[in-house]
Chain A
Amino acid sequence: MNPTIQPGMHPDADSLTAFAEQLLPNREREQILAHMATCSRCREVVFLAQQAGEAEPATASLKASAPPKLRASWLGGWRRAWVPAGALAALIGIAVVVHFRRVETEKQMAANVTDTLQRATPAQTASSPAPAATQANAVEKAKSSPKQTSAPMRGTKGASGVVEEQRVVRQQGSALGKAAPPIVSPPGVAGGAIHGTFAALAKTSPIGGPMARQIQQQNVVPQQSATSQQDLLRQAQNLNQTAADKRVIAGAPLGGVAETVSVQAPTEAAPAPQAPAAQLSYIPMSGKDLGLSSAAAGMKKIPKILLPNGAQALSMASAETRIVAIDTSGALFLSEDNGRHWQPIPAQWMGRAVLVRNLPGGTKTTALQAVPPTRFELVNDKLQTWMSIDGKTWTAENLPGK
Chain B
Amino acid sequence: MAYLRDVDAAPLQPVDETLPVEAQAPSVTVLPSLLDELWRECGAGQWGLGRDEFDRIVLRAGMGQNFGLDPGAEVTNEQQAAFFRGVKLADLVLAKGCAAGNGRAWEHFMATYSQPLTRAAIAISGSETVGRDLADAFYAELYGLTTRDGERRCPLDSYRGRGSLLGWLRTTLTQRFVDHYRRTYREEALEEQTFDAPMPDSVPQPEPSMLTTLSEAVHRALRDQPAEERFLLAAYYVDGRTLAEIGALLRLHEATVSRRLRRTTDAVRKRLLRNLERSGMSRKATEEALGTDPRDVDLRIDLKKLLQSSPPESFSKQALANPAAAKETLASALLSEERETVSEKAKSAG
List A residues at the B interface (Cβ < 8 Å). 1, 3-18, 20-24, 30-31, 33-34, 36-41, 43-56, 59-60
The residue in chain B whose Cβ has the minimal distance to the Cβ of A50 is: B249
The answer on a CB contact under 8 Å between A56 and B249 is no
The answer on a CB contact under 8 Å between B239 and A51 is no
Give the distance in Å from the alpha carbon of A51 to the alpha carbon of B233 in the complex: 20
Within 296-329 of B, Cβ neighbours of A (below 8 Å) are at 307-310, 312-316, 319
- A-B pairs with the 7 shortest C-beta distances? A3-B14, A17-B163, A37-B230, A34-B227, A9-B15, A18-B162, A44-B315
Tell yes or no: B234 within 8 A of A by CB. yes
19 extra A-B contacts, CB within 8 A, seeds A7-B309, A39-B308, A44-B316:
A12-B14, A13-B16, A14-B159, A14-B162, A15-B162, A16-B171, A18-B163, A20-B171, A33-B231, A34-B231, A38-B234, A45-B178, A48-B177, A48-B178, A49-B167, A52-B119, A55-B119, A56-B120, A56-B123
The residue in chain A whose Cβ has the minimal distance to the Cβ of B67 is: A1
The answer on a CB contact under 8 Å between A11 and B251 is no
The listed residue (A4, A21, A45) touching B174 by CB distance below 8 A is A45
Q: Closest CB of chain A to B223's CB: distance in Å?
A: 10
The answer on a CB contact under 8 Å between A38 and B310 is yes
Tell yes or no: B291 within 8 A of A by CB. no
B316 neighbours in A (Cβ, 8 Å): 44, 47
The residue in chain A whose Cβ has the minimal distance to the Cβ of B88 is: A23
Query: Can you sample 9 A-B contacts with CB below 8 Å?
Result: A13-B16, A14-B159, A40-B315, A52-B170, A52-B174, A53-B120, A55-B120, A56-B119, A56-B120
Give the distance in Å from the alpha carbon of A10 to the alpha carbon of B230 in the complex: 17
Chain B 218-247: CB-based contact to A (< 8 A → 1; otherwise 0): 000000000110110111001101000100
B66 neighbours in A (Cβ, 8 Å): 1
B65 neighbours in A (Cβ, 8 Å): 1
**How many inter-chain residue pairs (CB < 8 Å) link A and B?**
174
The answer on a CB contact under 8 Å between A49 and B116 is no
The answer on a CB contact under 8 Å between B307 and A46 is no
Q: Closest CB of chain A to B321's CB: distance in Å?
A: 15
Tell yes or no: B124 within 8 A of A by CB. yes
B235 neighbours in A (Cβ, 8 Å): 43, 47
Chain B 55-85: CB-based contact to A (< 8 A → 1; otherwise 0): 0000000000110111100000000000000
List B residues at the A interface (Cβ < 8 Å). 12-17, 65-66, 68-71, 116, 119-120, 123-124, 158-164, 166-168, 170-175, 177-179, 182, 227-228, 230-231, 233-235, 238-239, 241, 245, 248-249, 251, 307-310, 312-316, 319
A24 neighbours in B (Cβ, 8 Å): 162
Give the distance in Å from the alpha carbon of A49 to the alpha carbon of B177 in the complex: 11
The listed residue (B177, B179, B249) touching A47 by CB distance below 8 A is B249
Known: A17-B167, A56-B120. A12 touches B15 (CB 8 A): yes
Give the distance in Å from the alpha carbon of A3 to the alpha carbon of B116 in the complex: 29
Known: A46-B249, A59-B119. A13 touches B231 (CB 8 A): no
The answer on a CB contact under 8 Å between A43 and B234 is yes
The listed residue (B116, B171, B230, B313) touching A40 by CB distance below 8 A is B313
Give the distance in Å from the alpha carbon of A87 to the alpha carbon of B205 in the complex: 77
The listed residue (B17, B160, B182) touching A41 by CB distance below 8 A is B182
A16 neighbours in B (Cβ, 8 Å): 171
The answer on a CB contact under 8 Å between B245 and A50 is yes
Q: Closest CB of chain A to B109's CB: distance in Å?
A: 16
The answer on a CB contact under 8 Å between B14 and A38 is no
The answer on a CB contact under 8 Å between B249 and A40 is no
Give the distance in Å from the alpha carbon of A39 to the alpha carbon of B163 in the complex: 21
Known: A5-B15, A10-B16, A15-B14. A51 touches B123 (CB 8 A): yes
A36 neighbours in B (Cβ, 8 Å): 231, 234
Known: A7-B309, A37-B230. A20 touches B175 (CB 8 A): no
The listed residue (B163, B171, B314) touching A45 by CB distance below 8 A is B171
A34 neighbours in B (Cβ, 8 Å): 227, 230-231
Give the distance in Å from the alpha carbon of A9 to the alpha carbon of B249 in the complex: 22
The answer on a CB contact under 8 Å between A9 and B14 is yes
The residue in chain A whose Cβ has the minimal distance to the Cβ of B121 is: A52
Q: Closest CB of chain A to B151's CB: distance in Å?
A: 19
Give the distance in Å from the alpha carbon of A34 to the alpha carbon of B227 in the complex: 5
The answer on a CB contact under 8 Å between A11 and B15 is yes
Known: A12-B158, A45-B171. A52 touches B123 (CB 8 A): yes
A22 neighbours in B (Cβ, 8 Å): 251
Give the distance in Å from the alpha carbon of A60 to the alpha carbon of B118 in the complex: 13
A7 neighbours in B (Cβ, 8 Å): 309
A18 neighbours in B (Cβ, 8 Å): 162-163
Known: A12-B15, A12-B16, A50-B248. A40 touches B123 (CB 8 A): no
Q: Closest CB of chain B to A368's CB: distance in Å?
A: 96
Give the distance in Å from the alpha carbon of A23 to the alpha carbon of B68 in the complex: 14
Give the distance in Å from the alpha carbon of A9 to the alpha carbon of B310 in the complex: 9
B177 neighbours in A (Cβ, 8 Å): 48
B17, B160, B170 — which one has the most chain A CB atoms within 10 A of its CB? B170
Q: Closest CB of chain A to B96's CB: distance in Å?
A: 13
B170 neighbours in A (Cβ, 8 Å): 17, 49, 52-53
B12 neighbours in A (Cβ, 8 Å): 1, 3
The residue in chain B whose Cβ has the minimal distance to the Cβ of A17 is: B163
The residue in chain A whose Cβ has the minimal distance to the Cβ of B315 is: A44
B158 neighbours in A (Cβ, 8 Å): 12-14
Give the distance in Å from the alpha carbon of A21 to the alpha carbon of B170 in the complex: 12
The answer on a CB contact under 8 Å between B167 and A21 is yes
A6 neighbours in B (Cβ, 8 Å): 14-15
A51 neighbours in B (Cβ, 8 Å): 123-124, 245
B161 neighbours in A (Cβ, 8 Å): 14
Give the distance in Å from the alpha carbon of A14 to the alpha carbon of B172 in the complex: 9
The answer on a CB contact under 8 Å between A14 and B163 is yes
Q: Closest CB of chain A to B212's CB: distance in Å?
A: 21
The answer on a CB contact under 8 Å between B245 and A11 is no
Give the distance in Å from the alpha carbon of A161 to the alpha carbon of B119 in the complex: 97
The answer on a CB contact under 8 Å between A41 and B68 is no
Q: Closest CB of chain A to B116's CB: distance in Å?
A: 6
Give the distance in Å from the alpha carbon of A9 to the alpha carbon of B175 in the complex: 13
The answer on a CB contact under 8 Å between B171 and A13 is yes
B120 neighbours in A (Cβ, 8 Å): 49, 52-53, 55-56
